[in-house]
Structure formats: structure tokens, C-alpha cells
Amino acid sequence: MEGAGEGTMTSTAPEETAGAAPQAYGRPPRRKRADARRNRERLLLAARAAFAARGTEASLEDVAKRAGVGIGTLYRHFPNRQALLSAVFADAAEQLLARSHELLDDPQPCAALVAWLREMISHAGEYRGLARALMAVSSSTAPDRDSDLARCGGPIREAGGALLARAQEAGAVRAEVEIGDLLQLTHAIALAAEESPADPGLADRLLTLTLGGLRP
């Protein structure tokens, strides 16, 4: 009887554990996911503040401190600086994509392309160092084409490519111009404007010169 009792305990314990598992292990993961989302949002807010104040080379430890989390938490969400930078740039990328879709219906394809390039320059210059980072991943021969920031820029290339194609079909832009080269020039203009804050009209003048070279 004693052995049977032990056998009964042994046979029913796994079933009881299995039955209790959904309750025992179901709720904590939900709390952890909510905590993780809040930590990620705090990190992004802190990163925007740090990048605005000190540029994209701001200390990641400072970002974590601003967010009120440990550096390990930052790395769990963003394994490297480019991953964090791409997440910060994602909002601007969404705006640029939405704007490109609007401009595809513009009756003047060349004006639409120019308007979009101006917005690209504005967003690239939002944080000191962003234009340089975007240049590094925009080239077709860039060594880190598979980085988070490069993947973030993929849809941007497609959106700009569609606007460029319309301008080329309208005969306003030379047929051999490629979107990768045009984005590189755009980022270079943003970088030049960033390094010459005393000349607010520089970006527009450089863009005008660039557009002159694009015409057939």
C-alpha cells in the first residue's frame, strides 16, 4: 500500500504540473513583454534626446542612464549602435515613405522628386552624424549593407527610385542616373549643411547644383 501510494504520487504529479503550467508560466511572460515594450520606448526616447544633444556618437551608457535602465537592457533591445540608430530613424523613414506615396500622384514628376529630396536632406540632418551614417550604408559597395540601418534604408531606396523613374520617364532627369548615387549625393549635401551651420542656405544651393547635373 505504501509503495502504491508512492506510485500514485509519482504518476499524478506530472499531470498536476502540466495542468498548472499555463497559469504558472502564462502570466509572467505577459508582464515581461509589457515591461520590455516600456523599456524599449524609454530607450528610444532617451536615444533621441542624447542624439539631439550630442550627435549619433553619444555614449550608449548615457542613453541607458537617461532611460533608467542598465546597459545590458539596452543591448538586449539594440545589439549595437546601428540597431539603435535605425530604430530612431524609423519614424523619419515612415514619414518619407508616406510622403513619397503622396508625391507619386503629383502632376509634375521632377518637382515631386525635388520636394522629396529636400525632405530627405531635412531628416538626414535631424541628428548630428546621421547623414554620415546614412552615407556609409547607402552605397551599393558598402561593407555593411546587411546592417540594421542599411535594411531600414531599403524601402527608402525603393520609394526614391519610383519618384526618380517618373522624372526620367518625363524626360526631366537623365536616364543613366541611379537612385543609389542620388541618395549618396543627398546625404552628402545634408552632411555639408551639418558641418556649416552658419550657412543655412547651403543645402538648397548644393541641391540646385546637383539637379542641374541631372538634367538631360
Where along the chain do its domains lie? 2-77, 82-214
Question: What are the Cα distances from residue 115, in Å, to 22, 58, 89, 104?
Answer: 54, 31, 19, 11
Asked if the 82-214 domain carries CATH number 1.10.357.10, the reply is: yes
Q: Taking the CB of residue 124, how many other CB atoms lie within 10 A of it?
A: 27
Residue 8 confidence (pLDDT) above 60 = no
3-state secondary structure of 213: helix
Please tell me the predicted confidence (pLDDT) of residue 69. Answer: 95
- The predicted model scores a pTM of 0.73
Alpha helices in 55-201 (DSSP H): 60-67, 71-77, 81-103, 109-124, 130-138, 148-169, 179-194
- Taking the C-alpha atoms of residue 167 and residue 215, their distance in angstroms, rounded to an integer, is 10
Please tell me the predicted confidence (pLDDT) of residue 1. Answer: 45
Question: What are the cell numbers at 55?
Answer: 550627435
On whether the CB atoms of residues 37 and 47 are closer than 8 A, the answer is: no
Class of domain 2-77: mainly alpha
Please tell me the predicted confidence (pLDDT) of residue 146. Answer: 62
160 residue type, one letter: G
% the chain with pLDDT above 70 = 80
Question: What are the cell numbers at 176?
Answer: 543613366
Please tell me the predicted confidence (pLDDT) of residue 142. Answer: 53
User: Which of 3-17, 158-172, 195-209 bottoms out in mean pLDDT, i.e. has the lowest?
Assistant: 3-17
% the chain with pLDDT above 90 = 54
197 residue type, one letter: P
Instruction: Provide the phi-psi class of 174: left if phi over 0, else alpha when psi is between -120 and 50, else beta.
Output: beta
Q: pLDDT tens across 13-27, in order?
A: 443 344 444 444 445
Which of 1-5, 9-13, 52-56, 114-118 holds the top average pLDDT?
Answer: 114-118
